[in-house]
Every structure is written in C-alpha cells, then in structure tokens.
A = this chain, B = another copy of it.
Amino acid sequence: MSLAEIGATANGGVCRLALTDEEIAARRLLIDWAEALGLSVFTDDIGNLFFRLAGSDPEAAPVVTGSHIDTQPTGGKFDGAYGVVAGFEAVEAMLDAGAAPTRSVEVVAWVNEEGSRFSPGMMGSEAFTSRRPIAQILEVTDADGITTAAALEAVLAASPNLERREFGTPIAAFIEAHIEQGPVLERNGVPVGVVTGIQGSRRFRVEVNGEAGHAGTQPMAERRDALLAALRIVDALRATFAPDDAKFTVGLFDVTPNVPSVVPSRAYFSIDLRHPDQATLARLGDAIAAVCADHAAPCAARIKEIATSESLEFPEAIRATIAAAADTLDIPAIPILSLAGHDARQLHYHCPTGMIFTPCKDGVSHNEAESATPADLAAGTRVLAATLVKLATDV
C-alpha cells in the first residue's frame, strides 16, 4: 500500500492527479520496484511507463498488463492502482516460479486515465494507440491554463534517462485488471469477473450565456440568469434520460462571476452520458442539443461534444483464456459488462484485449471510501498471472 500513501487524503482516499508532483513521486516508486525486480523501464512521448520482463524471444511482441496510477481528486486507493500493482505482483510471481515465457511480459502505467486535471482523460492510451492526435492532447489546458505539454515536460524531466518507445509499438495482447466500480460481483459473491465489453459513453460541455445584474435591483422579469437557465436544462435532461435509465452525470458545474450579489452571467457544465446499448446511447446523446435549445431562454446555450466512445465487445479468445485460467485455479468467475471506461477501451483497437474485474465494497468508486478485500484482490491477481503466462507461452 506504499503507492496509496502518495497523495493520501485525510479521509482515507487518494488525490493523485495526472502530471502533478504526487504522480512524479508515484512514478519514482514504480521505477524503484521495477529496478528491484530487474525489469527494464521504458517511457514514450506522453509519459506512459512500461516495465519489461524479457521473454526468451526478444523479437516477439510482448504481452502487456497494467492500468493507470492517477486518481480523481477525491479518489480511492484501488481505481487504476490495483491494475498496475497486480501486474507487478504477477511478474514477481512469474520470477519466483522460474517461469520462462517466450514473449516478454510488460506492466504498463498509462498516463492520465481519469481526466480530472486535463480533460478528457485516457491520454496515455489514446496517444499510444493514435486514437487521438498527440498534438491535440498536448494543447489541453488545466483550470489554471497550464498545458499538458508543460506539465508533461516536468514529469518526463524527473526520470530523464529512460529509453523512449515509439507510439504504436506492437503488442501481442493487453489484459487490464481493475476493481469493478459497481456492485455486481459483490452481490453475486464472486471474486473475479471476465469482462465482456465496455459500455459506451458520450461527453459534452454546455455553456449558458445570460447577463450579469444586481441582485437587489434588477427586476426578476428582466433577468437573464444563466444559473437558473442551466438548472432548467439539467432538469430537462434528467427527465429525458430517465425512461431509459441512462447514466447521466453533471459532475462539473461552474458559474460566472460566482459571487453572492450578482445575477450569474454564465454557467458552464459537463454532461457524462452512458448506456450499454449503442443505439440508445446514440439516440439520447443526439437529443441533448434540442433540450438545451428548448430550455435556455432567455439565455443562450452552446453545446460541444468532446468525447464519444461506442460500446465494444472484447474478443472471445481472450475472454476464454481468462475464464480458463480462473477455472484451472478453481476461482469462481462470471462474465460482466464494464459500465466504466478504461484504457483497455483504447487498446482494444490496437491488439487483442481483455479485462479482469474484482469486487469493490458496496460498488463504491471515485470516492475516498473505495475499498476491496485482500482475498478478492489476490484472486484477481492469480487469474491475471495465469492468463499472462498462458498468453506469453503459447505463441
């Protein structure tokens, strides 16, 4: 748990935002671990970290596992970090067992999965797989106007001697272990989920422009209050999505000038919309613009879609390999759909990809109270190790 101490919060959670000093410290810890295990360390132009256990055939594409080490501002100890730590433990177990795989096995920490400071996230896996142009990623700014490029420079400068790998380097297979972040495994009493695919999502930003006015003098009938217009829009969106039980979250909500005695001139908010059915997701997402237009008056609303991810299914062969590994170890496992996005979403378009889920307490995540049992985490790690050995050996 030494990783969880970096950015630890008073409430037992973790705040380790991407490309911060906390992340630099966490990267240093991973590099120390890797060096202690004798792994070679690589990075790339977005700062992803790869830790390589060499296989007998250095020309064969590696089998890669891992996740991310950045967290939400009030995040937990396991989201992301578990996948990286499980990767290290799997590699350590292979070393202890004297495993001699043909393919190299690598642990990866993808940069900025969460997208809290620099949004949208998945920057590391999207850059590596060329799903988003690196130039566009580097231009993204945080709330203080600092660019990703500038923050990244400091992160890369902190470990200047690492060999840089090209984006898109071939990978034989990618397996990501992650806590479920939902209640299904816990409610079924099963320690491992073989992930069938990932729920799609659409992300928007809405800007509502009204007019500033004096809280004591401006007649109510003459106001163009951007906050009240934004509230009407959010409520109308909630009503629009409710019949399909789509996941609808307004997580970011900023008001300008945001002082008590001025009628707000501007409101700016995020929309995160998800649904496992691709057609429903498309229909609901397409309805947002009209809802905004219908409820913005007397203000004006502008909407921008900043990220879209279709629902996807992982290849049957990978899912079967994971299920077989669990079966051999006598660890109960069930198929499960991932409702959250993960770096595996991007890797899916680059190489055969799969995911292993483990339960988390009450399904709670993106919350400082995030929790998981050592037994469940160990079960997931054992299935991961067996899967990696199988994939790296049967070439």
A residues adjacent to B (C-beta < 8 A): 72-74, 114-116, 119-121, 180-183, 199, 201, 203, 211-220, 225, 227-228, 231, 234-235, 238, 242, 245-265, 270, 272, 274, 339-341, 363-368
Chain B positions within 8 Å of A235 at CB level = 231, 235
Cα separation A270 to B263 with both chains bound (whole Å) = 11
Task: Select A366's contact among B119, B180, B212, B225, beta carbons within 8 Å.
Answer: B212
Contact between B365 and A203, CB atoms less than 8 A apart: no
* A182 vs B217: C-alpha distance when bound (angstroms): 5
Contact yes or no, A264 B260, CB < 8 A: no
Task: Please name 7 further chain A to chain B contacts, defined as beta carbons within 8 Å, in addition to the given A72-B212, A181-B214, A261-B366, sorted by A numbering.
Answer: A73-B259, A74-B256, A121-B261, A181-B217, A199-B216, A214-B367, A217-B339
Contact A257 B74 (CB under 8 A): yes
So how many copies of this chain end up in the complex? 2
- Choice from B119, B260, B340, B367 contacting A211 with Cβ under 8 Å: B367
A365 vs B261: C-alpha distance when bound (angstroms): 11
- Selected from B238, B340, B367, the residue in CB contact (under 8 A) with A216 is B340
Given A215-B247, A274-B215, A341-B216: A366 in contact with B262 (beta carbons within 8 A): yes
> In chain B, what residue has the closest Cβ to A264?
B251
CB pair A261–B214 under 8 Å, yes or no, is no
A120 to B242, CA, bound (A): 40
Residues of B within 8 A of A203 (CB): 260
Residues of chain B within 8 A (CB-CB) of A364 are 213, 218
| Contact, CB under 8 Å: B114 / A261 | yes
**Roughly how many angstroms separate A180 CA and B218 CA in the complex, as a whole number?**
11
Partner of A72, one of B119, B257, B270, B340: B257
CA distance A259 to B203 in the complex (A): 12
Q: CB < 8 Å: which of B217, B218, B252 contacts A260?
A: B252
Tell me if A253 and B227 are in contact (CB < 8 A): yes
Residues from chain B with Cβ under 8 Å of A262 in the complex: 72-74, 116, 249, 251, 366-367
How many Å lie between the Cα of A183 and that of B215 in the bound state? 14
CA distance A165 to B366 in the complex (A): 55
A-B contact pairs, 6 of them (CB 8 A): A72-B257, A72-B259, A217-B247, A220-B242, A227-B251, A253-B264
- Tell whether A263 pairs with B249 under 8 Å between CB atoms, given A363-B217, A365-B213: yes
Nearest CB in chain B: distance from A256 CB, A: 8
Contact B73 A272 (CB under 8 A): no
Q: Please, how many angstroms separate the alpha-carbon atoms of A270 and B260 in the complex?
A: 6
A303 → chain B closest CB, angstroms: 14
Contacts A182-B218, A201-B216, A339-B216 given; does A272 touch B251 at CB 8 Å: no
